Structure 1
Amino acid sequence: MARINDVGGMEGFGPIDPTDDTEPFHADWEARVFALNRALVAGNVFNLDEFRDAVESMPPSDYLAASYYERWFHAIVALLEAKGVIEAGELDD
């Protein structure tokens, strides 16, 4: 069964904006999430395969409602909780 990120051939997601976005981040928190992910991978807390799986395992409604870096943050939190680095719900506030 395909996950929500695999939308090849599906319709109904609206038009795609083909213009290039030259900014890698649109808010400071996005850059921090990017850096956090890099640090955690470099520190062998998790690997990129685990990270990708965590992003793709998001519930479909959450995945579709989230921005790119919101998905990253969700995956980081899920992995940190699964690996016992943080307690479940510790970052909920």
Structure 2
Amino acid sequence: MNSIHDVGGMHNLGPVNIDLNEPVFKAQWEKHVFSTIGLYFAGGLCPIDEFRHAIEVMNPAEYLTTPYYVHWYHAMETLGVNNGLFTRDELEAKVKQLTEQEARS
């Protein structure tokens, strides 16, 4: 069964616009997500099939409307919780803390 993540070869999805000057990372947080997933792979916490599955469980509407590294971020969260690195509550508390720190800056 195909899901929203399996659109390769489908027709009528519009042109693929390629920007030859597009940077690999558009923001600093994307570099952090990329390297953290690399640590997951190196530490054996993330076989490629689990990484792909962690992206594929995203809500299809979110998947289609978010940038590439948001998909990796979602996988990072999912794999971190599933592998016991942190709980969902710990993650939400950290996000709240960082958001408050940023607001004060």
Q: Do both share a fold (TM > 0.5)?
A: yes
Q: What is the percent sequence identity of the aligned residues?
A: 37
Higher relative contact order (CA 8 A, sep 6+): 1
Q: Cα–Cα, structure 1 residues 22 and 67, in superposed 2: closer, same or farther, change >3 Å?
A: closer
Which blocks of at least 5 consecutive residues in structure 2 are unaligned? 96-105
Whether 1:48 aligns to 2:48 is yes
Q: Cα–Cα, structure 1 residues 88 and 21, in superposed 2: closer, same or farther, change >3 Å?
A: same
Who wins on radius of gyration, i.e. which is larger?
2
**Cα distance in 1, alignment partners of residues 39 and 5 from structure 2:** 25
**Cα distance in 1, alignment partners of residues 63 and 81 from structure 2:** 19
User: Which of the pair is proportionally richer in helix?
Assistant: 2
Which blocks of at least 5 consecutive residues in structure 1 are unaligned? none
TM-score when normalising by structure 2: 0.76
TM-score when normalising by structure 1: 0.84
**Cα distance in 1, alignment partners of residues 37 and 57 from structure 2:** 17
Q: How many residues align?
A: 92
- Aligned partner of 2:10 in structure 1 is 9
CA deviation profile, 1:18-50 (whole Å, cap 9, x unmatched): 332452111111011000000111011221221
Letter in 2 for 1:9: M
- What's the CA shift for 1:91? 2.3
Q: CA RMSD in A?
A: 1.7
